[in-house]
Amino acid sequence: MKHAIGAILLIAALLVVGLLVLRVDTLLPPAASTQAGPIDSIFNIQFKLIAFLFALIVGLMVYSIIFFRRKKGDTSDAAHITGNTTLEIVWTLLPLAIVIALAFISTNAIAETMRIDSQAMEVNIIGRTWTWSFEYPAYSASSAELILPVGKQVLFHLSSRDVIHSFWVPEFRVKQDAVPGITTTLRLTPTKIGEFSLVCAELCGRDHSAMVAKVRVVSQADFNAWVAAQTELATAPPEVRGEKWFNENACVSCHSLDGTPKLGPTFLGLYGKQEALESGKTVLVDDAYLYESITDPMKEIVKTFSPAMSPAITANLTELQVQDLIAFIKSLK
């Protein structure tokens, strides 16, 4: 009886510690989506269950190690126990009931996170080593940042250009793989205005850990303003858009617009020029040459310049952005 009370007290103490440590609000970042609700309630149940099982198992084990140690010089056998039918029935049925209950709760939670809103906004997410890009087909817009209106369900269509990546914003809780060759989907309703980070949750190569994109959840009014700006941009002449991509991608750090050579050739008067290459060849700077130089910058190097432009610099440009940049360079006479 004395041992039973001692063991129960130790288990109770461990349970209190476990419940204090294993908490959704301290271990997980603040939830910021509707789908986070059912997921966090499962975490909550599991954390409590884990705390109880930890206290029960470790408590009994530690208590036994301390109080039922073999005394020095004691070589006698321990009491021989052959079995306990009641105990065996209990420890079979109880875990079975818990696992069935968890399966039921989890199925409900999955259904809850997949609940369809017919008004959902569709966004395509494209993963490639090692960047994300986002397309808004309804608005003919694309972006390197994920911009979402608060309180509105989004239906993502995920795809990959190369290997498997995985969409994960910890505050939104839900996660989905982007798999080459197929399109996967994910539904999400952001509930908090703010900035978050989309991280890749599938080991995808050298820069996997740097495969991060900014997620901005904004008010519906701010989102409408963003869409309007995107629409205006979509109808602007290509060279105007090209100038924007030129500025946004910091091309000017290596390519001047006034004729002075920097780390790379100037863009002024470049189009239509004959360029001597390190390989000994001479090429005419036309659309095809510019396209190749932007998308595969290390392939041919212009004489007197060094191969300094990493392909990563232009890797996240869309096809349209490359065409816009060519139009911009063409316009610089």
Answer for which of 171, 202, 239, 243 binds ligand CUA (CB under 6 A) is 202
Size of the site for ligand CUA (CB under 6 A): 9
Site map 137..176 versus ligand CUA, x via CB under 6 A = ----------------------------x-----------
Give me the least distance between CB of 214 and ligand CUA, in Å please. Answer: 16
Q: Could you give the C-alpha distances from 254 to 174, 188, 235, 264, in angstroms and in order?
A: 41, 40, 29, 5
Strands 121-128 and 154-160 turn out to be parallel
Q: Is 244 in the site for ligand CUA (CB under 6 A)?
A: no
Answer for which of 154, 200, 215, 309 binds ligand CUA (CB under 6 A) is 200
- Nearest alpha-carbon partner for 39 in 96, 101, 111: 111
Give me the least distance between CB of 207 and ligand CUA, in Å please. Answer: 8
Give the HSE-up count for residue 84: Cα atoms under 13 Å, Cβ half-sphere. 7
Q: Is 325 in the site for ligand CUA (CB under 6 A)?
A: no
Choice between 17 and 315, CB closer to ligand CUA: 315
**DSSP-assigned letter for residue 181:** T
Q: Is 204 in the site for ligand CUA (CB under 6 A)?
A: yes
> Which of these ranges, 18-26, 198-206, 225-233, 276-284, lies near ligand CUA under the rule CB under 6 A?
198-206
The Cα 8–Cα 12 span in angstroms is 6
Give the HSE-up count for residue 24: Cα atoms under 13 Å, Cβ half-sphere. 17
The Cα 254–Cα 234 span in angstroms is 27
Q: Which residues bind ligand CUA (CB under 6 A)?
A: 127, 130, 165, 200, 202-204, 208, 211
